[in-house]
Structure 1
Amino acid sequence: MQDITPLKRNFINCSLLGTHEGGGAVILLFHYLSLLNIFDAFITYFGLENSFIQEMNPLMSRIYGTDPLLFIFTKLAFSLCIYLFIVFKKVPTSSLIRGLTVFATSFYTIVFFLHCYWLIVLI
């Protein structure tokens, strides 16, 4: 079996993830955050529409209060913006962005599963 040199491995990783060395993890987190946001949009919408949950984010609560479809549109637009960074290969890879992205995905994962748990318990 042929051994893959570090240079070839880095090229393969760049080709698959569309980034330079070190940015792959951030891109994966961007994908995850965007998809999580899309799923959360519909789960939250369902919970809000059926008065199972309340939106605790004041900005999103106000948007939902204005128009529930605007709420969905806003969440989808946020996911699209994240994906545009990926598509145009402009995902920032600084340690600050990595840290913020890890924090955001961790926090958002907890919120998402909390919403899911509440809906399961209440339904």
Structure 2
Amino acid sequence: MKSTKCYTRALIENAMTHSSDPTPTVSVTAESGNVVLPPEPTKKAVVNVHIEDSNSVITDLDRTRLLGDEESPVHHGSGLGLWVANWVVTMSGGFISHTERNPQGNRVTITLLRSTA
């Protein structure tokens, strides 16, 4: 549970910090669902946590940091918040996705396996 708070907080703080609005708004919603996770062809129960803002779209460089794609000492994002969120989610067996909101903003979705206990 502490890890859930850690990455959710990191993503909310990142959205608030990088907002040009003096009173930024960030929404957090959660929903359950089912996905097929390779290599097994069976569906797994998951929880999706959506963090949405109306900020400028996350840059390609910072999206690389958030999604963990091709990061290196030479090619990396601008802060630690997105990196921390990616690391904690990945270490928890989950994954992160990003979509642009229309007309402006970001939707970051964290997908984690639901506990069966």
Give the shorter-chain TM-score range.
under 0.3
Structure richer in strand, relative to its length: 2
Structure richer in helix, relative to its length: 1
TM-score (structure 1 length as normaliser): 0.24
* Pair member with larger Rg: 1
